[in-house]
Every structure is written in structure tokens, then in C-alpha cells.
């Protein structure tokens, strides 16, 4: 679904600003896809940090910018709780 919307947006020159719902973990990868594969010039992404302590590799934001994930996977692994 995201890719279809992104392709249509690119065709009609509309920027894509994904709603991350509650965390932005997977979406940080999708906006990179938009830029690298589809050529979207601008990268926009919400940041909602209230669940970041639950993830093994939470999204990192510094000075209003997401840091490109360097860990393998989709950044959605949860920390195990007892």
C-alpha cells in the first residue's frame, strides 16, 4: 500500500509524509526507499517517541533529523520482558 501511494505521489509531484502511527520504526526505512528508489526529493517523517524504550534498536532523531538505521532488519524487534 505504501509503495503504491508513493509511486502515485511521485508521478504527480506530491511529497509523501507518512503517518507513523505510534513509533516510526519501519517508516524510517520506507522514506529512504522513497528517496533512493523513487527519487522523492524531500524526506518527511513524523516522530512519536513514547514507545522507543520498547525496541532493541529504536529510531534515533537528532536536531530534528532521523539517523539512518545501520542495524540489519526493519528496526521493529521488541525488547523481551518477563
* pLDDT (tens digit per residue) in 22-64: 666 777 778 888 888 888 887 777 777 788 888 898 888 888 8
Residue 72 falls inside a structural domain: no
Q: Which domain holds residue 57?
A: 2-66
Domain count within the chain: 1
Rounded distance between C-alpha atoms, residue 29 and residue 5, angstroms: 16
Residue 40 falls inside a structural domain: yes
Residue 50 falls inside a structural domain: yes
Residue 61 falls inside a structural domain: yes
Residue 10 falls inside a structural domain: yes
Cell 524531500 appears where?
Answer: 42
- Confidence at residue 74, expressed as pLDDT on a 0 to 100 scale: 84
- Confidence at residue 58, expressed as pLDDT on a 0 to 100 scale: 86
Q: What is the dihedral of CA 50, 51, 57, 62, to 10 degrees?
A: -10
| pLDDT over threshold 90, residue 12 | yes
- Confidence at residue 22, expressed as pLDDT on a 0 to 100 scale: 61
- Confidence at residue 51, expressed as pLDDT on a 0 to 100 scale: 81
| pLDDT over threshold 80, residue 21 | no
Amino acid at each position: 500500500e505504501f509503495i503504491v501511494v508513493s509511486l502515485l505521489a511521485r508521478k504527480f509531484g506530491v511529497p509523501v509524509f507518512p503517518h507513523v502511527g505510534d513509533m516510526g520504526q519501519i517508516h524510517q526505512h520506507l522514506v529512504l526507499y522513497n528517496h533512493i528508489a523513487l527519487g522523492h526529493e524531500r524526506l518527511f517523517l513524523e516522530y512519536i517517541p513514547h514507545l522507543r524504550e520498547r525496541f532493541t534498536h529504536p529510531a534515533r532523531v537528532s536536531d530534528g533529523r532521523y539517523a539512518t538505521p545501520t542495524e540489519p532488519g526493519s528496526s521493529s524487534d521488541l525488547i523481551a520482558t518477563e
